[in-house]
Amino acid sequence: MTLRRALGAAAADLYHHAWRLIVLNMLLGAGVLLVVLASMAVRAALLLAILIGPAIAALMHCAVTLAQTEDLRLAEAVRGLRRHWRHGLALGLALAAAVGLGALAVPFYAHAGTWAWPFAAVCIYLLLMFGVFQLALWPLVVFESDRPLRAVARDAALVLARRPLGFLGLAVTLLLVNVIGVAAAILPFLTLTIAYSFLVSAHFALPKNPAREA
C-alpha cells in the first residue's frame, strides 16, 4: 500500500472508531507522560520506560486488528496485552537501551572536540534509522506473533530494505502529525495522533487483507 492510501485508510478507520481509539490513545499517552515526568524527577524511573513496551504492543494489536478487519472492540486491548506482552517487554527494553545509549553517546562525541563530530553524526543517524525500523517492526511483531522475534525482526529489516524511501516518508509524515497534535493539544500526547500513527504504520507495513479490499 502506498503512503497516501495508508494515510487515507487510517483516517477512515479513525473516523469510524474514534471513541475507542481516544480511550486507547489517552491510556498510552498518559503512561508515556508519567514515565517522562517520573524520569525528570528520579533518573532511575527511566527504567519504567521498559513497561511501555507491552502497552505499545497492545495498542498496535488494536491497530493491526482494525486495519485488517475494519472492526475493533476495547476488549482487543486486553487480548493484545495478554498475547504480546513478552515481545512488547523485549522490544521496550531494546528501545530504552537504544535511546539511553544515544543520549550518552551523542553529547559525549559532540563535546569531545572537532575530531569527534562525525561520530556524533553517525550516532544520530543510527538512532533515526532505528526509529524508522520500529515502524516496520512493531506491526510485523503483532501480525506474526507466533514466529520467533528474531525471525520477525529479520523480515522487518527486509521490508524496510525494499521500501527505504517509503518508510522514510512515513517517518517524516508521522513526525509532523504528532508535532502538530502535541502543539494543538491542551495536554500533550492526549490527542489521537498516536493511535493514528499506529494505524498508518499497520496499513503501510502489512499486506492488504483481500476480504477488506473486497
Confidence grade of residue 114 (pLDDT, cut at 50, 70, 90): confident
Secondary structure letter of residue 74 according to DSSP: T
The dihedral region occupied by 209, where left means phi > 0, alpha psi between -120 and 50, and beta the remainder, is beta
pLDDT at 156: 96
2-30 pLDDT, tens digit each: 999 999 999 999 888 988 888 888 888 77
- Given a contact cutoff of 8 angstroms between Cβ atoms, the answer to whether 22 and 30 are in contact is no
Please report the beta strands in the chain, taking only residues with DSSP state E, as ranges in sequence order: none
Residues 134, 95: Cα–Cα separation, whole Å: 9
C-alpha cell at 5: 492510501
pLDDT at 45: 58
Residues 29, 19: Cα–Cα separation, whole Å: 15
Secondary structure letter of residue 42 according to DSSP: -
Confidence grade of residue 212 (pLDDT, cut at 50, 70, 90): low
Residues 181, 186: Cα–Cα separation, whole Å: 10
Query: pTM for this structure?
Result: 0.87
pLDDT at 210: 65
Residues 79, 65: Cα–Cα separation, whole Å: 11
The CA–CA distances, whole Å, from 117 to 100, 114, 127 equal 19, 6, 15
pLDDT at 214: 53
Residues 126, 184: Cα–Cα separation, whole Å: 30
pLDDT at 40: 67
Residues 197, 17: Cα–Cα separation, whole Å: 15
pLDDT at 26: 81
129-181 pLDDT, tens digit each: 999 999 999 999 999 999 999 999 999 999 999 999 999 999 999 999 888 87
- Given a contact cutoff of 8 angstroms between Cβ atoms, the answer to whether 80 and 62 are in contact is yes
More confident residue, 179 or 42: 179
